[in-house]
Chains A and B, each alone.
Chain A
Amino acid sequence: MTVQDFWALSPEIAMALLALVVISVDLITRSMAKVAIVALVGLVAPLILTLNLWFGWFGDPAVGQALFGTVEADRFSLFFKFLLLTVAAGTILASTKYIASDRMKDYGGEFVSLVLLSVTGMMLLVSATELITIYVALELTALPVVALAAIHRTKQGVEAGTKFFVLSAISSAILLYGFAYIYGYTGSTNLGIIMERLAVLPTEVGVPFGSYAVLLAVIMIVAGFGFKMAVVPWQMWVPDVYQGAPTPVAAFLSVASKSAAFAVIMRIMYVAFGNESLMQDWSGLFAILAAVTMTVGNMLALSQSNIKRLLGYSTIAQAGYILVGLASVPANQVGATFAGAGPQGVMYYLAGYVFTNLAVFFAVIAITSRTNDDSIKGLNGMLKRSPLLAGLLVFGLLSLLGMPPTVGFMAKVVVFGSAVNANLTWLALIGVVNTVIAAYYYLRVIRAIVFEDPADDSTFSADKPVLVAAGVAAVGAGVFGLAPFLLLEFAESALSIIPGL
């Protein structure tokens, strides 16, 4: 391992070490508050190392390939690393009360370190540029989550964990099949080399992707990541796991694994299949998936009575909107005057979604931990019982709905706008119609919070840490909506690194 390799991987190494430190601290002290503080303070180290890679504080930025070209600490990956670190910090902050609770205090340290390990996997995943590394990182990402989902050892928890484990194993298997085809066809597992080989290999006219082998491989890869992204028709596990798993885990799952999966699929598609003709082929595939995912997710959410299940379906629908951005490839805009914004749209939407969804989930955590009731009815009159939490929750839901001037609205404008630019106006229209459908169930929750009479009049104020976490997330959702350039400039400079753009 050269020095450059070390620098390129320094955030991941720091994260893995932090996970070990947290476990050790847990052995020494039994105070969960101390464990959480150690983890939160410790997160500063990977953050600084990531910032260093971006700005090059300690000598030249080590942006470049490492470990024989299997990992690349480019700005694209750094963008997502910042996002993932935010998620990790938020999740741990919002769980401080939860890990100190009676039924959790024996596994509190494990909980935190599993979160950190999973994030380590995701950070590796977003910078992997080679199929086998991607696979290994993916497994590192998934296994801790299985344990997290089942950490309660209740019937529901174990069911959620088992379901997630089995389905994620199947999806990994499908993914491996896809990778094997690609390797067999092109003779390489490196994304950049795959692109070069695909460009020179003979193509059949009239066959999508130029050959049935590539077509099959792409479908399998999309299917494999479809599980992680919670895209229809691979969304079945989402509501069950969200409902069965502890709410902080559901929050973590809904944003972290989704952003990591979108990041890696973006990299695979734009780098390995970034030829213009291939691009148009997979754009069509994603456009169909987007339309189906949005519609099915929203339709199923309409009749939910459990807030966690409802949010589960809502995240499926949100994945559909993000797919719209993925489908809006620059190659599609024949004769358009303006450069496409699909990739920026995906990154902007994802980042906005991360902040919004965290605010929503954290507010739900704070409320349900007091009421022990995760039905929508349980939220009745929450504005009277806990105004600040209810306000944050309503704000987050409005952002998910896409109400101006939140980030949810701006992100939809950017994504749908780029769809129009990419000659996918029909997809943008389906998206707009879906937004209206979704308004129904988001407003239903808001109505319960604001207008219904509370079941009991007791008021409560939230625990400080989770309130801070939800508040910061909500501020992010507001600021990035009013000032989209903050994220978009960031995303643009991150994208300039990807070849093919």
Chain B
Amino acid sequence: MFDGLLTITVFLPAVVAILVAVFARGENSDQQIRWVSIGATVVTFVMTALVFFGYDQDAAGIQMVDYFERWIPIDALRSSYLLGVDGLSAPLVLLTGILGMAAALGSWRIKKRVREYFMWLLLLQTAVLGVFVSLDLLLFFIFFEFELIPMFMLIAIWGSGRPRYSAMKFVLFTLAGGAFMLVGILAIYVTPGVNTLAMVSIPELGITGIPELIAAADLVVPAALIFGFFFIAFAVKLPLFPVHSWLPDAHTDAPTAVSVMLAGVLLKMAGYGLLRINLGFFQETKGFTIHDVAGYMAILAAVSVIYGGIITIRQTDMKRLIAYSSVSHMGFVLLGVAAVGSSAAETSSAGLNGAALQMFTHGTITGLAFLMVGLSYDRTHTRHIPHLGGLWKKMPLIAIFFLVAGFGSLGLPALSGFVAEIMVFLGTFSVWPWATGVAAFGVVLAAGYTLWMVQRVFFGDRPANPGLSDEVYDNITDANWIDMIPVIALAAPIFIVGIWPSVVTDMFDIGIQAVLR
């Protein structure tokens, strides 16, 4: 069975990247490169929308499968080229399409080494899309690791501040996490009875996936340990306290569009991995189930939420502030996953759905926030909050959409952040009341740091000294229409999902029910 749609969607950006890298030459090629690359991301977005809306919700299951069994034609390796989407991955594929397009549009003003920049950005999109649609563990790992090279280059070459340090830190943290994942894969691989690396079962193709096989298998490596290996890999990427420290550096020093991709979709790879692998594989393994550790996960999540929130309040750099708020918000994803400890199917699926939705909304909201910081920075040349103030008068449009992102992030009803957080709380509270109660305080913190930042940056008076120089301040102009295209692209889903959540939650629910078995 080879549908082809997913393969084309995944590799389209990479093919364009290579064509751009090889063939774009000459004096005036920069403009052409921008147009071609943006065109590629727009086409990719359309393809991801086709994937999302083409998914037959009534039929459920894994759809649009690209299956090539003899990808590695060695019986001993049991790995195949297996792509497919289900309810869990389809919205994330769409999210990657939206953010990839927004990131490319937001990179319009990049002047330095344009050809290479867009090449890496497009390759990054291929890697992330690949992670979400791979249903073979080895393939999943390949895409998961492949994302490192483009990210490293994008931060190190086009970053600001201490780009090489931050890029290296990012790579080292992720490589270390990846090593744990590789050991985890190896541990599954050596298990007698698990004769596949397929992450799901697809009855139509006769594929029995790891989740079913591992339940019956006598594990060589204890299941708790394998769970731990994968958990560490995803905890680094999510990121959770105490392995989060790469994130603020990477975000602060990355160019705007890369921050958008990093916060928007790269962190989601970890959340997706938690749901697909940690939750999917370890529900009934011998001697261990995920329910045993759900309580610890809830505590860890609460710590991450509160720690991230408190650190966030102290930040004076706008970008760093949003980066730390990601630590806090991604903690909610784990909190939602912890709801699996419930014995009632309804509460646990509410929490898990909340976790999945939180990934989607955080992607759009934080993506938008980074985009707005980038637009503001382009004009003021500083992100230092005490130097800013009263910008509302100079750039109302930027301020408005900054507020949208801020309100979304603090969970204002009618915006998508609210729906996700309320679902997480509803699901998890009955199981882990204390952890949830503490984590709920994170929303208060979010209101605090968001509103305080907006107040300091956009309202009040222009600080006298040492604020912006007159020259800079007088020349501030509002966003123009080119700037607004990616802004609208990211703001629209925040409103749509806020008012009509079932457009993605129905989808996620299909995926979650399948993972829960």
List chain A positions with a Cβ less than 8 A from chain B: 336-341, 344-345, 387-388, 391, 398, 403-405, 409-410, 413-414, 417-418, 420-421, 425, 428, 432, 436, 450-451, 483-485, 488-489, 492
When the two chains form their complex, are residues B72 and A484 in contact, meaning their CB atoms are under 8 A apart? yes
When the two chains form their complex, are residues B190 and A413 in contact, meaning their CB atoms are under 8 A apart? no
B47 at the interface (CB under 8 A from A): no
15 CB-based A-B contacts, threshold 8 Å = A338-B76, A340-B76, A341-B75, A345-B74, A403-B146, A403-B149, A409-B142, A410-B72, A417-B189, A418-B76, A428-B186, A432-B182, A436-B179, A484-B72, A489-B73
Per the bound structure, the CA–CA distance linking A488 and B153 in Å amounts to 32
B77 at the interface (CB under 8 A from A): yes
When the two chains form their complex, are residues B156 and A417 in contact, meaning their CB atoms are under 8 A apart? no
When the two chains form their complex, are residues A488 and B182 in contact, meaning their CB atoms are under 8 A apart? no
Interface string of B146-186 (1 = CB under 8 A from A): 10110001001100000010000000000000010010001
Per the bound structure, the CA–CA distance linking A341 and B189 in Å amounts to 14
* Residues in chain A near residue B138, CB distance under 8 A: 413
When the two chains form their complex, are residues A488 and B186 in contact, meaning their CB atoms are under 8 A apart? no
B393 at the interface (CB under 8 A from A): no
Q: In the complex, which of the residues A340, A485, A488 has the most CB atoms of chain B within 10 Å of its own CB atom?
A: A485
A450-B153 in contact given A403-B145, A420-B186, A420-B190 (Cβ < 8 Å): yes
Residues 131-149 of B at the A interface (beta carbon under 8 Å): 138, 141-143, 145-146, 148-149
Q: Out of B68, B72, B146, B189, which one reaches A405, CB within 8 Å? A: B146
Interface string of B69-93 (1 = CB under 8 A from A): 0111111111000000000000000
Distance (whole angstroms) from the CB of A336 to the closest CB of chain B: 8
Per the bound structure, the CA–CA distance linking A38 and B235 in Å amounts to 60
B30 at the interface (CB under 8 A from A): no
10 further A-B contacts with Cβ under 8 Å, apart from A340-B76, A387-B116, are A337-B195, A341-B75, A398-B149, A403-B146, A409-B142, A414-B72, A417-B74, A417-B77, A418-B76, A425-B190
Taking CB as reference atom, which chain A residue is nearest B138? A413
Distance (whole angstroms) from the CB of B164 to the closest CB of chain A: 6
Q: Out of B141, B156, B195, which one reaches A404, CB within 8 Å? A: B141
Q: Is chain A's interface secondary structure helix, strand, loop, or mixed overall?
A: helix
When the two chains form their complex, are residues A404 and B145 in contact, meaning their CB atoms are under 8 A apart? yes
* Residues in chain B near residue A436, CB distance under 8 A: 179
A484-B71 in contact given A387-B116, A391-B21, A413-B138 (Cβ < 8 Å): yes
Per the bound structure, the CA–CA distance linking A404 and B138 in Å amounts to 10
A417-B142 in contact given A403-B149, A483-B71 (Cβ < 8 Å): no
When the two chains form their complex, are residues A404 and B190 in contact, meaning their CB atoms are under 8 A apart? no
* 6 closest Cβ pairs, A-B complex: A404-B142, A338-B76, A341-B74, A341-B76, A404-B145, A421-B76
Per the bound structure, the CA–CA distance linking A409 and B139 in Å amounts to 12
Residues 11-26 of B at the A interface (beta carbon under 8 Å): 21-22
Taking CB as reference atom, which chain A residue is nearest B193? A337
B54 at the interface (CB under 8 A from A): no
A338-B75 in contact given A404-B142, A409-B142 (Cβ < 8 Å): yes
* Residues in chain B near residue A432, CB distance under 8 A: 182
B287 at the interface (CB under 8 A from A): no
Taking CB as reference atom, which chain A residue is nearest B142? A404
B192 at the interface (CB under 8 A from A): yes
* Residues in chain B near residue A488, CB distance under 8 A: 72-74
List chain B positions with a Cβ less than 8 A from chain A: 21-22, 68, 70-78, 116, 138, 141-143, 145-146, 148-149, 153, 156-157, 164, 179, 182, 186, 189-190, 192, 195
A414-B77 in contact given A398-B149, A403-B149, A451-B164 (Cβ < 8 Å): yes
A405-B73 in contact given A420-B190, A450-B153 (Cβ < 8 Å): no
When the two chains form their complex, are residues B146 and A404 in contact, meaning their CB atoms are under 8 A apart? yes
Per the bound structure, the CA–CA distance linking A340 and B75 in Å amounts to 8
Distance (whole angstroms) from the CB of B149 to the closest CB of chain A: 7
Per the bound structure, the CA–CA distance linking A337 and B217 in Å amounts to 14
Taking CB as reference atom, which chain B residue is nearest A387? B116
Distance (whole angstroms) from the CB of B14 to the closest CB of chain A: 10
Distance (whole angstroms) from the CB of B123 to the closest CB of chain A: 11
Taking CB as reference atom, which chain A residue is nearest B116? A387
Per the bound structure, the CA–CA distance linking A345 and B149 in Å amounts to 26
Per the bound structure, the CA–CA distance linking A8 and B260 in Å amounts to 61
Per the bound structure, the CA–CA distance linking A388 and B71 in Å amounts to 30
Per the bound structure, the CA–CA distance linking A451 and B192 in Å amounts to 46
* Residues in chain A near residue B190, CB distance under 8 A: 420, 425
Per the bound structure, the CA–CA distance linking A70 and B149 in Å amounts to 50
A413-B73 in contact given A404-B146, A420-B190 (Cβ < 8 Å): no
Distance (whole angstroms) from the CB of A326 to the closest CB of chain B: 16
Distance (whole angstroms) from the CB of B206 to the closest CB of chain A: 18
Per the bound structure, the CA–CA distance linking A414 and B79 in Å amounts to 10
Per the bound structure, the CA–CA distance linking A485 and B76 in Å amounts to 14
Per the bound structure, the CA–CA distance linking A414 and B142 in Å amounts to 14
When the two chains form their complex, are residues B76 and A405 in contact, meaning their CB atoms are under 8 A apart? no
* Residues in chain B near residue A428, CB distance under 8 A: 186
* Residues in chain A near residue B21, CB distance under 8 A: 391
* Residues in chain B near residue A417, CB distance under 8 A: 74, 76-77, 189
* Residues in chain B near residue A336, CB distance under 8 A: 76
Per the bound structure, the CA–CA distance linking A391 and B149 in Å amounts to 13
Per the bound structure, the CA–CA distance linking A413 and B182 in Å amounts to 10
* Residues in chain B near residue A489, CB distance under 8 A: 70, 73
Distance (whole angstroms) from the CB of B348 to the closest CB of chain A: 34
* Residues in chain A near residue B78, CB distance under 8 A: 338
A414-B156 in contact given A405-B146, A436-B179 (Cβ < 8 Å): no
Per the bound structure, the CA–CA distance linking A432 and B76 in Å amounts to 19
Distance (whole angstroms) from the CB of A393 to the closest CB of chain B: 14
* Residues in chain B near residue A337, CB distance under 8 A: 192, 195
Taking CB as reference atom, which chain B residue is nearest A428? B186
When the two chains form their complex, are residues B72 and A485 in contact, meaning their CB atoms are under 8 A apart? yes
Q: In the complex, which of the residues B68, B73, B116, B149 has the most CB atoms of chain A within 10 Å of its own CB atom?
A: B73
Taking CB as reference atom, which chain B residue is nearest A487? B73
Per the bound structure, the CA–CA distance linking A413 and B164 in Å amounts to 30
* Residues in chain B near residue A421, CB distance under 8 A: 76
Per the bound structure, the CA–CA distance linking A341 and B138 in Å amounts to 17
* Residues in chain B near residue A403, CB distance under 8 A: 145-146, 148-149
Per the bound structure, the CA–CA distance linking A492 and B74 in Å amounts to 9
* Residues in chain B near residue A404, CB distance under 8 A: 141-143, 145-146
Distance (whole angstroms) from the CB of A117 to the closest CB of chain B: 36
Q: In the complex, which of the residues A404, A409, A432 has the most CB atoms of chain B within 10 Å of its own CB atom?
A: A404
Per the bound structure, the CA–CA distance linking A387 and B192 in Å amounts to 48
* Residues in chain A near residue B148, CB distance under 8 A: 403
A339-B76 in contact given A420-B190, A436-B179, A451-B164 (Cβ < 8 Å): yes
* Residues in chain B near residue A398, CB distance under 8 A: 149
* Residues in chain B near residue A340, CB distance under 8 A: 76
Distance (whole angstroms) from the CB of B179 to the closest CB of chain A: 7
Per the bound structure, the CA–CA distance linking A436 and B175 in Å amounts to 10
Per the bound structure, the CA–CA distance linking A417 and B72 in Å amounts to 12
Q: In the complex, which of the residues B72, B116, B146, B179 has the most CB atoms of chain A within 10 Å of its own CB atom?
A: B72
Per the bound structure, the CA–CA distance linking A425 and B156 in Å amounts to 37
Taking CB as reference atom, which chain A residue is nearest B167? A451
Distance (whole angstroms) from the CB of A42 to the closest CB of chain B: 30
Per the bound structure, the CA–CA distance linking A164 and B233 in Å amounts to 47
Distance (whole angstroms) from the CB of A63 to the closest CB of chain B: 22
Per the bound structure, the CA–CA distance linking A404 and B149 in Å amounts to 10
* Residues in chain B near residue A345, CB distance under 8 A: 74
Per the bound structure, the CA–CA distance linking A387 and B190 in Å amounts to 43
When the two chains form their complex, are residues A485 and B70 in contact, meaning their CB atoms are under 8 A apart? yes
Per the bound structure, the CA–CA distance linking A337 and B190 in Å amounts to 11
Per the bound structure, the CA–CA distance linking A405 and B148 in Å amounts to 11
When the two chains form their complex, are residues A413 and B186 in contact, meaning their CB atoms are under 8 A apart? no
Q: Out of B68, B71, B75, B182, which one reaches A339, CB within 8 Å? A: B75
A420-B71 in contact given A403-B149, A404-B142, A432-B182 (Cβ < 8 Å): no
Taking CB as reference atom, which chain B residue is nearest A488? B73
Q: Out of B77, B179, B192, which one reaches A341, CB within 8 Å? A: B77
* Residues in chain A near residue B68, CB distance under 8 A: 485
Taking CB as reference atom, which chain A residue is nearest B78? A338
Taking CB as reference atom, which chain B residue is nearest A489? B73
